[in-house]
A and B are shown apart, each in its own frame.
Chain A
Amino acid sequence: MGPNTPAMQPPGAQPERTALSWQRTVLGTIVGALLLSMAAIRSGAPVLAIAAAALSLYVAARLMVSSPARSLRLGTRTQVWPGLARMAWSVACLGALGTATAMVNVWTSWP
């Protein structure tokens, strides 16, 4: 039993708002990873493309299938930090892959 069990829902629909916030973040990350994957293919960097696609699958599996959003709505969530850390580091990973793709482009277009 935590502070978010159905019997003790805080007023203001806050768990619902937080669940929606999670959904926006997760979907945005998955779409961003897929877009980067396509950009990496166009840049001729298949390793980065596969890595970005793998990242989108990871985020979908770990944060969409067993989502903080659903456990928030059900009131079954016990911990915040693991999901949050997973989310933030996924975006950081995406940023690193994006930087790598840009550097590949600079390298290949260098005369």
Chain B
Amino acid sequence: MNHREDESPAADEPRRERRPSAVYGVGVEPDARFSLANERTALAWVRTGLGLVAGGVALTSFSTFAEMPVLLEVVAAVACLAGGILAVYALRSWRTHEIALRTGSPLPAPAALPVLVAGVVAMALLLTGYAIASIVG
């Protein structure tokens, strides 16, 4: 097991402080596997945000060919905004999870997940309705 007090690092440790101190100043070094898993989770959240942004970019690219371009542009703007927010949320989530790993606390629930799902469902319904209206109207 890899328990090392942060107050007295080994003699061959580089003397550079790890940022952020709010994370690394607390608790002890967790198993490297858990830290790396946390990092991959954060990157997965960032990629989810990136996916939303990419969807928004695609919508705004093709809205000129569409019937109600303003609606599509609004959806695109919201998607890009949500994607950006999700990417920043990834950072906050990484911090709280790393602190929980270091202090041995239970991991917090992914608060953004229900919101994300609701948002994606809402967007899908909106665009489905738009598509049907375009076919019918």
A, B in one complex: yes
- Which residues of chain A have a CB within 8 Å of any CB of chain B? 1, 3-4, 8, 10-12, 14-15, 17-18, 21-22, 24-25, 28-29, 32, 35-36, 38-39, 42-43, 78-82, 84-85, 87-89, 91-99, 101-103, 105-106, 109-110
The reply to whether A18 and B39 form a contact with Cβ atoms under 8 Å apart is yes
User: How many chain B residues touch the partner (CB < 8 A)?
Assistant: 55
In chain B, positions 64-91 with a C-beta closer than 8 Å to chain A are 64, 69-70, 73-74, 76-77, 79-85, 87-88, 90-91
Contacting residues, chain B, for A95 (C-beta < 8 A): 49, 52-53, 56, 80-85, 87
A102-B56 contact, Cβ under 8 Å, with A17-B36, A25-B47 = yes
**Separation in Å of the B134 CB from the closest CB of chain A?**
17
B18 partner, pick from A81, A93, A101, beta carbons under 8 A: A81
The docked-state distance in angstroms from the alpha carbon of A22 to that of B44 is 9
Proximity bits, B24-67, A CB within 8 Å = 1, else 0: 00000101110111011011101101101110111111011000
A91-B56 contact, Cβ under 8 Å, with A80-B39, A102-B73 = no
The reply to whether B80 and A102 form a contact with Cβ atoms under 8 Å apart is yes
The reply to whether A102 and B50 form a contact with Cβ atoms under 8 Å apart is no
Contacting residues, chain A, for B106 (C-beta < 8 A): none
Contacting residues, chain A, for B36 (C-beta < 8 A): 10, 14-15, 17-18
The docked-state distance in angstroms from the alpha carbon of A89 to that of B88 is 7
The reply to whether B54 and A99 form a contact with Cβ atoms under 8 Å apart is no
Specify the main secondary structure of chain A where it touches its partner.
helix
B114 proximal to A (CB < 8 A): no
Could you jot down 14 A-B contacts, CB within 8 Å? Answer: A1-B12, A10-B31, A10-B32, A17-B40, A18-B39, A21-B39, A29-B50, A32-B50, A81-B23, A88-B91, A95-B84, A98-B80, A106-B77, A110-B70
